[in-house]
């Protein structure tokens, strides 16, 4: 018998590390159901995930749609396809529907950052 066949190819401490990709609809992607109080945080998390991936515009739209449930998903289903064919368009629609209106102080601080 060949001695190389008896030995494992790599010990557990030497195995390569890998990064698990995010998949559309996977359970650990944060979901949004239309709860206005959670929209801003959810959007920030999803945008960070989108930046970390090399997805086409349509794939980004599908990714965001896959992270929706309940009322938010139903609202987006009512939008015509050409108005929701990029991730940015989908997020902008959701922003219009679910983001709290910024306070004057928030608007002021935003403009002074520019």
Residue pair 72/98 in contact (Cβ under 8 Å)? The answer is: yes
Distance, in Å, from the CA atom of 51 to the CA atom of 54, rounded to the nearest integer, reads 8
Contacts of 60 (CB under 8 A, 6+ apart): 50, 86, 87, 88, 90
pTM comes to 0.64
Query: Which tokens belong to 57?
Result: 């515009």
Per-residue burial over 82-95, b if 16 or more Cβ lie within 10 Å, else e, is eebebbebbbebbe
Q: What is the pLDDT along the chain (114 residues), one digit of tens a residue?
A: 555 455 544 444 443 444 444 555 444 778 999 998 899 999 999 999 998 888 999 999 999 999 999 999 999 999 999 999 999 999 999 999 998 776 677 666 656 655
């Amino acid at each position: 018998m060949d001695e190389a066949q008896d030995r494992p190819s790599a010990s557990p401490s030497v195995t390569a590390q890998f990064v698990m990709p995010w998949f559309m609809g996977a359970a650990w992607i944060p979901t949004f159901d239309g709860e206005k109080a959670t929209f801003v945080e959810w959007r920030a998390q999803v945008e960070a995930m989108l930046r970390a991936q090399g997805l086409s515009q349509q794939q980004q739209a599908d990714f965001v749609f896959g992270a929706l449930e309940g009322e938010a998903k139903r609202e987006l289903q009512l939008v015509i396809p050409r108005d929701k064919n990029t991730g940015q368009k989908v997020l902008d629609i959701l922003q219009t529907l679910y983001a709290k209106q910024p306070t004057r102080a928030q608007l002021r601080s935003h403009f002074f950052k520019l």
